[in-house]
């Protein structure tokens, strides 16, 4: 089995992100196991260019700075980035944080040498790179703050993996961002629709297991009336007051009126002041009703979760009382 040096492991991460097969990744890592170059400002680098389907180490990189960079100043570079600790733990990834979209990096005159901006200035469209920085230096120069203790505990370096895609004008970047945001919105909607179907099956199983007779709103939230009220149903825009207890399906309580002083929470219904599951479920109740709301995760906090107690993609149960409709 091929044994890889740590610097080659970073190449495995880079080439895997670019879509290479496992054999291609290992072959590229073995061929490209040369030592890092070093800029005059102290940045260690390996920069690659895709030539006829193979990534070759660029040998024309000027350690004093790219003399062609001035032609790129004022434009926007679309690039994917990963930040990693000295122990190769992932700190940040544009693919993850930006829903697969590249970062748009404004290119300006480099005034501080040795930081991330200085490294980006070496990149030309189509380049892929591994940059290695002294952790104290890069935090001081690029983030204007001391390196966090956990970073220094991992080692005295930080690595940035970069894939430069294309150069754009300000207008092109704005149009590209709108296009990417629309694609991301459609993807998010498709993901939410799939998750809604999955959650629906889990909620039905939960109702059956707990002998609950649930009704489903047109939006997808389930409600179980445990005590019927006699007052009016709330209309969109009306203020409602609600007592509640929120739990995960395993019974763990994450919030309640008792935790908030025991008083009802008041808000305008149906205008987005609460999660969609509440707007849907409470609209089906009459004043004075006590009920259980079972909210699919896309109608609650979705993939982002909420704080330490609500994990990503969690179905939520709320025991509620619609105290008043104003």
For residue range 191-211, list pLDDT tens digits in order.
Answer: 889 999 999 999 999 999 999
Say what the pLDDT of residue 167 is: 95
* Percent of the chain topping pLDDT 90: 75
| Cα 12 from Cα 323, distance rounded (Å) | 59
Tell me which of 255, 265, 267, 309 is the catalytic residue.
255
Is position 254 annotated as part of the catalytic site?
A: yes
Mean pLDDT value across residues 61-66: 93
For residue 172, what pLDDT band results from cuts at 50, 70 and 90?
very high
- Single out the catalytic residue among 301, 310, 315, 319: 301
- Please give the radius of gyration of the chain, using alpha carbons only, rounded to the nearest integer: 27
Q: Is 45 a catalytic residue?
A: no
More confident residue, 168 or 21: 168
Q: How confident is the model at residue 34 (pLDDT cuts 50, 70, 90)?
A: low
Residue from 275, 292, 310, 315 carrying the catalytic annotation: 275
Q: Note the CATH architecture for domain 6-168.
A: Roll (3.10)
255 bridge partner residues: 246
Q: What is the pTM of this model?
A: 0.60
Which residue out of 244, 292, 310, 319 is catalytically annotated? Answer: 244
pLDDT greater than 80 at residue 16 = no
Is 318 one of the catalytic residues? Answer: yes
Q: What is the mean pLDDT of the chain?
A: 88
What pLDDT, on a 0 to 100 scale, did the predictor assign at position 33? 52
Residue ranges matching CATH 3.10.50.40 in the chain? 6-168, 195-325
> Which residue is catalytic, options 20, 55, 222, 318?
318
* Segment 251-267 mean pLDDT: 93
Mean pLDDT for 140-150 is 92
Dist CA 322 CA 288 (whole Å): 5
Q: Which of 58-67, 94-103, 189-198 has the lowest mean pLDDT?
A: 94-103
Tell me, what's the pLDDT at 226? 97
pLDDT at position 6 is 45
pLDDT in tens, 121-139: 999 999 999 999 999 999 9
Distance CA 260, CA 76 (A): 47
What is the mean pLDDT of the segment spanning 274-301?
A: 96
Q: Please report the pLDDT score of residue 166 as a whole number.
A: 94
195-325: CATH number: 3.10.50.40
Please tell me the predicted confidence (pLDDT) of residue 31. 43
Work out the average pLDDT over 156-168. 95
CA-CA distance, 143 to 156, in Å (whole number)? 16
* Catalytic residue list contains 301: yes
E-state strands within the chain: 37-38, 44-51, 54-57, 76-85, 90-93, 103-106, 127-134, 157-168, 215-216, 222-227, 239-248, 253-256, 265-268, 290-295, 316-325
Mean pLDDT of 84-93: 92
């Amino acid at each position: 089995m091929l044994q890889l040096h740590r610097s080659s492991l970073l190449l495995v991460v880079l080439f895997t992100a670019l879509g290479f097969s496992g054999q291609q990744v290992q072959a590229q890592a073995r061929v490209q196991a040369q030592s890092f170059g070093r800029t005059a400002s102290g940045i260690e680098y390996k920069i690659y260019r895709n030539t006829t389907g193979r990534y070759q180490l660029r040998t024309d990189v000027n350690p004093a700075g790219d003399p062609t960079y001035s032609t790129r100043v004022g434009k926007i570079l679309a690039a994917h980035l990963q930040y990693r600790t000295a122990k190769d733990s992932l700190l940040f990834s544009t693919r993850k944080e930006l829903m697969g979209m590249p970062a748009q990096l404004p290119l300006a005159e480099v005034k501080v040498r040795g930081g991330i901006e200085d490294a980006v200035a070496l990149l030309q469209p189509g380049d892929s790179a591994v940059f290695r920085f002294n952790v104290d230096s890069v935090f001081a120069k690029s983030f204007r703050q001391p390196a966090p203790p956990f970073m220094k505990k991992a080692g005295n370096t930080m690595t940035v993996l970069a894939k430069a895609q294309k150069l754009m004008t300000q207008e092109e970047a704005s149009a590209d961002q709108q296009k990417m945001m629309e694609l991301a919105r459609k993807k998010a909607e498709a993901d939410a629709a799939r998750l809604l179907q999955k959650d629906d099956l889990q909620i039905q199983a939960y109702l059956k297991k707990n002998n609950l007779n649930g009704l489903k709103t047109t939006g997808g939230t389930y409600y179980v009336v445990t005590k019927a009220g006699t007052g009016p149903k709330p209309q969109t825009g009306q203020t409602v007051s609600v007592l509640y207890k929120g739990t995960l399906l395993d019974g763990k309580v994450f919030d309640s009126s008792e935790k908030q002083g025991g008083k009802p929470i008041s808000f305008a219904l149906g205008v987005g002041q609460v999660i969609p599951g509440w707007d849907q479920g409470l609209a089906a109740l009459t004043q004075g009703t006590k009920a259980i709301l079972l909210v699919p995760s896309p109608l609650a906090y979705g993939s982002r979760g909420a704080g330490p107690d609500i994990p990503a993609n969690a179905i939520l149960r709320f025991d509620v009382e619609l105290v008043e409709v104003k």
